[in-house]
Amino acid sequence: MNIKTTDRDTRRSSPPYGYSRDCIHSREEQVHIVAEFHAHKIRPSRIAYRVGIDIAFIEELIAGEIEAEHFPRLVAYYRKQRYQQRLHDSTASKGIAQYELQQKIEREFKQEVDL
């Protein structure tokens, strides 16, 4: 089966590495946003693309080059929130499935804290 490309190809190339929109958030809001996304294991390039925060700023935060005390506390806070939300969501399952899911959530949280 031959598929021909048409002259009216509406696909666009990938956005430039970094970000695709202007950031409308203050610096403090950006730090919180990056901490929350990082706690949810979202890659820096994806954070930059979705929110418009400069990727260099994101990488500096994650590397601990700036906000070295404040940023890790925020990440820990958002990880704990994520952990509690996941445990709460696990109550939708019952019995052994719920127990196993909660054990998995506990293990993953402990691994993240040990990092």
Residue 8 maps to a domain: no
Domain membership of residue 12 (yes or no) is no
User: pTM for this structure?
Assistant: 0.69
Q: Check residue 46 and give its pLDDT.
A: 87
- Please state, for a pLDDT cut of 70, what percent of the chain lies above it: 81
How far, in Å, CA of 75 to CA of 24, rounded? 22
- Residue 45: other Cβ atoms inside 10 A: 14
pLDDT band at 15 (very low <50, low <70, confident <90, very high): low
User: Between residues 12 and 36, which one has the greater pLDDT?
Assistant: 36
Question: The domain containing residue 94 runs over which residues?
Answer: 27-114
In a domain, 88, yes or no: yes
| Number of domains within the chain | 1
Contact 34, 61 (CB under 8 A): yes
Closest residue by Cα to residue 77 from 103, 39, 109:
39
